[in-house]
């Protein structure tokens, strides 16, 4: 099974249960693969965000990943 997303001029393909993804056709190794859990598809959010050229940050107070822009 394949998850494909396009954004910021980037095409990203993740394969369920595989540690290999494609970013604009180039193979990239993931730390954690995309998966299906309880009927929902889950993806490694930091990898996806950064591949789509977003800057992310872990907020330990709220235990959440947030889009981060330095001002």
How are the residues of the chain apportioned to helix, strand and coil, as percentages rounded to the nearest 5?
10, 50, 40
pLDDT over 90 at 12, yes or no: yes
- Count of beta carbons in the 10 Å neighbourhood of residue 31: 8
Domain total of the chain: 1
pLDDT digits 0-9 by tens, 45-62: 889 988 988 888 888 999
Short-list 13, 12, 18, CA closest to 2:
13
Q: What pTM was estimated for this model as a whole?
A: 0.77
Could you list the residue range(s) of the whole structural domain that residue 50 is in? 2-67
Q: CATH code at 35?
A: 3.30.457.10
What mean pLDDT, rounded, does the chain reach? Answer: 89
């Amino acid at each position: 099974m394949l998850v494909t997303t396009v954004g910021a001029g980037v095409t990203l393909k993740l394969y369920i249960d595989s540690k290999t993804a494609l970013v604009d056709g180039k193979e990239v190794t993931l730390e954690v693969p995309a998966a299906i859990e309880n009927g929902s598809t889950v993806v490694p959010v930091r990898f996806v965000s950064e591949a789509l050229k977003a800057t992310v940050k872990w907020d330990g107070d709220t235990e959440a990943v947030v889009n981060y822009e330095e001002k």
